[in-house]
Structure 1
Amino acid sequence: MFFCPGGSAPGKFKGSRSFQVLCSLSLGMSKEVKILLVRVKSDGRQTYNISEVEEQRIPLSTISIRNTASELIKACKGVWVKGKFKESYLLPAFSVKPNIEVHIPIPRDKLNPPTPSIYLESKRDAFSPVLLQFCTDPKNAVTVIRGLAGSLRLNLGLFSTKSLVEANSDHAVEVRTQVQQPADENWDLKGSSQTWPCESSRSHTTIAKYAQYQASSFQESLEVCISCFFFPSSEQKPVGKVIKFGTNIDLSDPKRWKPQLQELLKLPAFMRVESSNNMLSHVGHTILGMNTVQLYMKVPGSRTPGHQENNNFCSVNINIGPGDCEWFAVHENYWEAINRFCEKHGVDYLTGSWWPVLEDLYSSNIPVYRFIQRPGDLVWINAGTVHWVQAVGWCNNIAWNVGPLNSYQYQLALERFEWNEVKKVKSIVPMIHVSWNVARTIKITDPDTYKLIKHCLMQSIKHIQILRDQLVASGKKISYQSRVKDEPAYYCNECDLEVFNLLFVTSESSSKKSYVVHCEDCARRKSPALTAVVVLEQYRIEELMRTYDNFTLVSVMLQMFTKASRFL
């Protein structure tokens, strides 16, 4: 990562003055003393007595989202935190997660609950607010919308293998080499017992070459079927065939994939790649596969191992066909139990590759949704749902993430943000950065969502102000460098933690004159007194205070009136 201290944008540093001299300007927090002028008369003359007013300060421990930014800043004065500021961005009292009793035994025949499936009869049904409410209901882990493509007249042929080859035959494809197995089994390398680790190796090819493989695989299977029909054998078909899965194919380029991306604009707003109420549209930069479309090219047995989406965001997946896919899904409430199984089997829940043994889940009282996704079906994975997928036939799929601006999605995204920090895993979505962007641009009408976001902003200001005061008190100079358009969020170069507003910058190489960003902890490990570190501030505290105070709960009626007034 390159950074230009004193400049207006990240990039290579240019100039003759030294790194330290350029960043020597300190823009400390402006201070003022309130003075009370008392008019008095003495010997017939009018004069004034001057007295300093001691303002009453609210204890930081009692500060809440009902307080103003000014009261919050004053409460932070004089607070000294030894080590890292560790208060959570979440408040348990604001939790909106459904109460699911995981300890009540579930009868075996209830451990495969029916998957909610919606059959649309018209285009109007697809755009009904009832559909949005159903899909995002915290109690619904997954929803299958049958025949959505037909209802909206989506031209899925644009995503067929033939169309993809014609459009961009040399486009890159990541390939996962896997061993073909039944969807409800996962055998170890010796084939002696079922296990959780799901092994695969990675390579790369092009769309044209994978298309040839996909076609030859189908032809080979067809020949085997014909042979078996005319020449039946008592011998079993050999298992453990090696297959190749074409995954993570990037369709983000609007020039290369214009017809495909335009076709997806036919979807309801809450399912689209980009919309105003999608938190991922407020990141400010591209996150491949999340706020862009990715394509998957499959042969039978191709597996997407178990996972929750990055930062627990929702996902949309459409089967292009011609074959089916089989899905397994578990409500977010059970993710910790699944995490324990991963630990038991020596595979990392967040970064490893694993395929749950169904019997393990059933014996632990964990219900599993299991269903078939046919061509034209859209699968909506709700926030935090654990899921894994296997191709039944030859097919292509397209998928992306969405972040509906509701309390459940926001809470789960922030929970995973904090859990990632504990596990030292990068949060692909910079949640603090996104929260401030949402506060600046979106009017929130839901009280629960408002409280969660407001509390996050409050904790963010506390962290910034306390850290800032401690830096200034220790004599550390802080330089102001405002953000520029489309500037990405920053992460620590060492631990991948999101770094918001106060950036600790060091020189990577004296010869290259390039610089990297760190969090405070990692910066102090390199230089305990921060002597070789420049601290940059991207937002003045007054700007954050204005955003905080202006972020208020808006009534639904007021929002409707505001929208209507635009057309008058």
Structure 2
Amino acid sequence: MSSRAWPPSSKARERPVDPLKLKALSMGLSKELKVVLIKMDSAGRQTFNISELEEPRIPMSELSIVNTAAEVVRACRGERVKGKFKESYLLPSFCVKPKIAINIPIPREKLNPPTPSIYLESKRDAFSPVLLQFCTDSKNAVTVIRGLAGSLRLNLGLFSTKSLVEANSDHAVEVRTQVQQPADENWNLNGSAQTWPCESSRSHTTIAKYAQYQASSFQESLEEEKESENEEEEEEDKTSDTLATTKIIKFGTNIDLSDPKRWKPQLQELLKLPAFMRVESSNNMLSLVGHTILGMNSVQLYMKVPGSRTPGHQENNNFCSVNINIGPGDCEWFAVHEHYWDAINKFCDKHGVDYLTGSWWPVLEDLYSSNIPVYRFIQRPGDLVWINAGTVHWVQAVGWCNNIAWNVGPLNAYQYQLALERFEWNEVKKVKSIVPMIHVSWNVARTLKITDKDTYKMIKHCLMQSMKHIQILRDQLVAAGKKIFYQSRVKDEPAYYCNECDVEVFNLLLVTSENSTKKTYVVHCEDCARAKSSSLAGVVVLEQYRMDELMKIYDSFMLVSITCKRKRK
């Protein structure tokens, strides 16, 4: 029916319509009173009585993922929380990590367990669901897939130094200047003892210039080999030998290959990989970030000479990683299951180096004496190393080689739990979580169907906690007289972080103008905004999602059976 078919009454013509009121109604500010009709008998006749229906309010402490979004919001509104709401996003008393007995001493010979190595016989094997299950099994810290490049006929020559120079010779390279040492040693500056800190200085160059260095380093080595053949070798103890042969090397790291125009042939070649290993895929949480995170959901390249070191670390937010050795030389890897990360963290504290942000190289004897098993293996050209969620690892080049690497976030319970745990630990340690986990969790709920019960429970709980955080802060801001302005997100808009403490800020952005002439706007978290002004003077509050929009996503996010998912396909 068109609007013209409904003529206004004479009274309506006299009273002009207030467009602001119409707008307010369209924005969902109308209120409803729910009533119930109760059937009654009166003098033998049936009649109805109208009664208000009181909505029951559940105490916030009793909320769970079985509750609706409306029940969650109602519970928050009635709670009257004072100060900042600080509940965890993690599902309490719920853990999908494997149970590893740490009290039982491991015999010395078993502290170097064999590394799971898969030899593919055909291309079909690479795309088998069994391979995905094996790589992502929480018991397997690391998996080496031998000769994957050959099985899939990957043209690794596209990533050779020669090809890189021809493609983009002036491309930026970060250089780490390091001391060359044996892979299982890390000496202090005067060479008197082994230690954990692993220092290096940073500079920058181009692919062409590093290529020259890589080639000249190889040439020098050939000449040194010839000279040593003509000299008599003398036996010396290991320490003096280490000091005598101290050599400074340069490692070309963090070379960004994200630009699809500059690196089109290289990036297209990687589409030959199985879906779960690709830079981008439908079940990869990092594909739902909505913007590029360099080196995580984009490819990075490493150019190496013998001794080039990637110090010990877990991947950002404990995500899985894929690493392919381009060759021609080998790399040596060391890996420890996520279960032991805190023990390694304590060693870092003891040696005065920050576990999350510092540069460290574990002393193997320290790990063995603490009953910590270490996987140690060689990655040859064409081998793919899959680092599972949370695995601690460190790598050294044996020969001259290039490597390519990126992160992936398979949507399983183990990966999600570890990512969210590290998200919260980073906040405690005041370290930025490169992956905005709250933003990603809402994107997962909006776009994917989850068939695994444990994964679903953890994501749903995170969303519930997120709604609680938002509603409580929203009510506090309104009660304090702050206006909240709606500003919807635009395509490819990045997630937001606090300008001071780097914590993720989701939905309610507390914004200040730092420079009145340049109009630069800065986002703050609640704590940092209140630290500047307890009354939030000069702070503008922007809301990126309406609460009813988030409520709809929350209620629509349901566990899907595998058979139901297949039918929809």
Question: Shared fold by TM > 0.5?
Answer: yes
Q: Deviations over 1:275-298 (max 9, x none)?
A: 000000000000000000000000
1:535 maps to which of 535, 541, 557: 541
Q: Deviations over 1:180-226 (max 9, x none)?
A: 00000001111111110000000000000000000000000000101
| Aligned AA (1:181) | Q
Deviation at 1:118, TM superposition (A): 0.3
Q: Which residue of 2 aligns with 1:15?
A: none
| Aligned AA (1:534) | V
| Aligned AA (1:403) | G
Equivalent pair of 1:28/1:472 in contact (CA under 8 Å)? no
**Counterpart mapping for 1:228-267 below 5 A:** 228-234=228-234, 238-267=244-273
Deviation at 1:29, TM superposition (A): 6.7
| Aligned AA (1:287) | I
Q: Which residue of 2 aligns with 1:204?
A: 204
1:429 aligns with 2:440: no
Q: Deviations over 1:323-361 (max 9, x none)?
A: 000000000000000000000000000000000000000
**Counterpart mapping for 1:175-214 below 5 A:** 175-214=175-214
Distance 1:475 1:46, change over 3 A: farther
Deviation at 1:509, TM superposition (A): 1.4
For residue 92 of structure 1, give the secondary structure of its aligned residue in structure 2.
coil
Deviation at 1:234, TM superposition (A): 2.8
| Aligned AA (1:115) | T
Equivalent pair of 1:39/1:47 in contact (CA under 8 Å)? yes
Distance 1:555 1:37, change over 3 A: closer
Q: Which residue of 2 aligns with 1:340?
A: 346
Report which stretch shifted further, 67-76 or 337-346: 67-76
Q: Which residue of 2 aligns with 1:372?
A: 378
The CA distance in 1 between the partners of 2:494 and 2:453, in whole Å, is 30
1:418 aligns with 2:430: no
Q: Which residue of 1 aligns with 2:69?
A: 69
Equivalent pair of 2:59/2:79 in contact (CA under 8 Å)? no
For residue 318 of structure 1, give the secondary structure of its aligned residue in structure 2.
strand
Q: Deviations over 1:390-429 (max 9, x none)?
A: 0000000000000000000000000000000000000000
Deviation at 1:103, TM superposition (A): 1.9
| Aligned AA (1:315) | S
The CA distance in 2 between the partners of 1:414 and 1:456, in whole Å, is 9
| Aligned AA (2:348) | C
Q: Which residue of 2 aligns with 1:390?
A: 396
Structure number with greater CO (CA < 8 Å, separation at least 6) is 1
For residue 287 of structure 2, give the secondary structure of its aligned residue in structure 1.
helix
Deviation at 1:525, TM superposition (A): 0.9
The CA distance in 2 between the partners of 1:28 and 1:338, in whole Å, is 53
The CA distance in 1 between the partners of 2:375 and 2:430, in whole Å, is 31
**Counterpart mapping for 1:150-549 below 5 A:** 150-234=150-234, 238-549=244-555
Q: Which residue of 2 aligns with 1:562?
A: 568
Equivalent pair of 1:246/1:298 in contact (CA under 8 Å)? yes
| Aligned AA (1:216) | S
The CA distance in 1 between the partners of 2:85 and 2:30, in whole Å, is 23
The CA distance in 2 between the partners of 1:233 and 1:310, in whole Å, is 45
Q: Deviations over 1:64-111 (max 9, x none)?
A: 111111111111122122322111111233311111111211111110
The CA distance in 1 between the partners of 2:310 and 2:509, in whole Å, is 37
Q: Which residue of 2 aligns with 1:137?
A: 137
Distance 1:50 1:473, change over 3 A: farther
The CA distance in 1 between the partners of 2:296 and 2:498, in whole Å, is 21
Equivalent pair of 1:94/1:448 in contact (CA under 8 Å)? no
1:100 aligns with 2:106: no
**Counterpart mapping for 1:39-118 below 5 A:** 51-118=51-118
Equivalent pair of 1:114/1:369 in contact (CA under 8 Å)? yes
Q: Deviations over 1:526-566 (max 9, x none)?
A: 11111211111110010001100110011101111111xxx
| Aligned AA (1:134) | F
Q: Which residue of 1 aligns with 2:15?
A: none
For residue 94 of structure 1, give the secondary structure of its aligned residue in structure 2.
coil
Equivalent pair of 1:28/1:478 in contact (CA under 8 Å)? no
| Aligned AA (1:141) | A
The CA distance in 2 between the partners of 1:240 and 1:280, in whole Å, is 41
